[in-house]
Amino acid sequence: MKPGIHPEYNEVVAICACGNTFKTRSTRKGKIHMEICSSCHPFFTGKQKLVDTAGRVERFQRKYGRKTETPAPTPSTAS
């Protein structure tokens, strides 16, 4: 590596929105704030958080959800 052309690699504290903190290394100085980490991400925890804003999930279910089919009327045969 050439001296003087690479940025400094500092130890920083990463802070998640869930409150989890851990130390990592980065070229950035100070703290790193993030929205999601490995302790609250659904892939790692196995739990799925569904964030619903203004009833969008229910509206989607009403619009595109499966509908119960009613049986078609059977034609009666006249004798």
- pLDDT value of position 23: 92
Which tokens sit at 24? Answer: 């990592």
Number of domains in the chain: 1
Asked whether residue 65 is domain-assigned, the answer is: no
How many residues does this entry show for the chain?
Answer: 79
How many CB atoms are located within 10 Å of the residue 32 CB?
13
> Each residue of 4-47: pLDDT tens digit?
898 888 999 999 888 889 999 999 888 988 888 877 776 666 67
Distance, in Å, from the CA atom of 60 to the CA atom of 65, rounded to the nearest integer, reads 7
Report if residue 39 sits inside a domain.
yes
H/E stretch holding 59: helix 56-64
- 39 φ/ψ sector (left φ>0, alpha ψ -120 to 50, else beta): alpha
Whether pTM > 0.85 for this model: the answer is no
Question: Residue 8 is part of a domain; what is its CATH number?
Answer: 4.10.80.400
Domain extent for 10: 1-45
Task: Give me the residues paired with residue 31 across strands.
Answer: 13
11, part of any domain: yes
